[in-house]
A and B are shown apart, each in its own frame.
Chain A
């Protein structure tokens, strides 16, 4: 598997560290306990397309959101996590 890093170009996955499901979001500090249990422990674990976090530790140190197929390992999309977060903020603001 190779990830096409938006900053560095295509690199082997040994340069990256996997950091799990990118679709879970930290609940607010006043959220009930079950929301934290969901966030920390429960996962959809889909058999298909999965949005996930990778950290480019041996490259540009960017956090990336990768859309990858669990069945085929096909990679559809690699974007910087900061861009995803910015987009989410803009969508929330608009």
Chain B
């Protein structure tokens, strides 16, 4: 049975009849023998792909196969930031497409994802950084994306408590994208799952893919812990584990799995009303609607599938926080956790066909996948439905490494040689 449509009227109706009419948000689907498309991985990107396949491309016989449960992976482990402040022309249109999808998402999927365009402010601390951020802001504006360069005073008015006059890293200003902000990450998973389910997509949880069945060089389905599922097309959307799953089809990817930690403090009264990033270290912070400070920094820097990190990075992140805003020094850490990052070798994602017919790959999101969720889903759905890249994702090719066409946005990737 389909989940309810959510509106003020359903809310009132349920209030009057004792909340007895709410139906499950998605069905507990059992695997069917075959589908037109099977998406491996029920994270944000996989669910978004299934949703857009059904919604925009009219493909309703779709299954999302997830080894754990919806919301357990990186969609529930990120720091909820959305932004489109990119520099390179291969990236800006894609991330701006994503930002526009975020702006209409809640109406589109009939789910409150708490999209909050509270602004993303990247601070700079020396002249070279000011030049770099000016260039970035200009690139954004040339692509029709909003960007504002703030000087020290403008930043001080917005965030009076930062450490402005530090001898080593004085705050000279910042690049502000007002349309950036945060989104309730779990609600993105649940909202896409529910919206896809309402369009007939089967979401199959606790069903691990153990192999990709091939016939005459084509992918024809997936072997799972709950039996074989036939598929016209197979889409891999399992960032963090992309190498493992792609290896089932004999592919070797330009990806290493790394671990990234994130943190949340005890709840405080509201005092940070935007997302702030420190330019002199790797530290970014925002305040959730519950009041907790949500922050993070670097990846741990070594290969890992462990979903937990080590102490030196925790120390490094907290040092960054103290350098930027000394007033958080007495705030207690409430929780910290880690997720697995598909670190691609140039720091940019892959949405492409593979050398195996009917097998498609969505991978390599590094630590920037959350903001891309809707556009990644849309572009991957486009690729699977039309067998050609979406116009805003033409640069995300798997063969770009061999062609020397890497997308080197910030000199990052698995071995950034930057830190």
Contact = CB atoms under 8 A, between A and B. Distances in A.
Given A50-B303, A70-B305, A73-B304, A20 B256 contact: yes
Given A33-B402, A37-B402, A70 B257 contact: yes
Nearest to B399: A37
Chain B: interface size category:
20 to 34
B402 A43 contact: no
Contacts of B247: 44
Chain A: interface size category:
20 to 34
B415 interface: yes
Contacts of B255: 43, 45
B37 to A, nearest CB: 26
Contact of A70 (B306, B312, B402): B306
A17 to B, nearest CB: 8
Given A14-B312, A41-B345, A42-B253, A52 B303 contact: yes
Contacts, number: 68
A interface, by DSSP: helix, strand, loop or mixed?
Answer: mixed
B414 interface: yes
A43 B243 contact: yes
Interface string B295-327: 000000111111000111001000000000000
Interface string A11-47: 0111000111100000000000110011011111111
A44 B402 contact: no
Nearest to A17: B301
Contacts of B301: 18
Contacts of B244: 45, 47
Contacts of B315: 14
Contacts of B312: 12-14
Interface in B252-307: 252-257, 301-306
A70 B304 contact: yes
A44 B306 contact: no
Contacts of A45: 243-244, 253, 255-257, 303
B401 interface: yes
A1 B303 CA distance: 13
A56 to B, nearest CB: 14
A50 B243 CA distance: 14
Contact of A43 (B253, B302, B304, B305): B253
B78 interface: no
B252 A43 contact: yes
A47 B305 contact: yes
A19 B402 contact: no
Given A18-B302, A50-B303, A71-B306, A41 B257 contact: no
A19 to B, nearest CB: 7
Contacts of B345: 40-41
Interface in B162-208: none
A94 interface: no
6 contacts: A14-B315, A20-B303, A45-B243, A45-B255, A47-B241, A70-B303
Interface of A: 1, 12-14, 18-21, 33-34, 37-38, 40-47, 50, 52, 68, 70-73
Interface of B: 241, 243-244, 247, 252-257, 301-306, 310-312, 315, 345, 401-402, 414-415
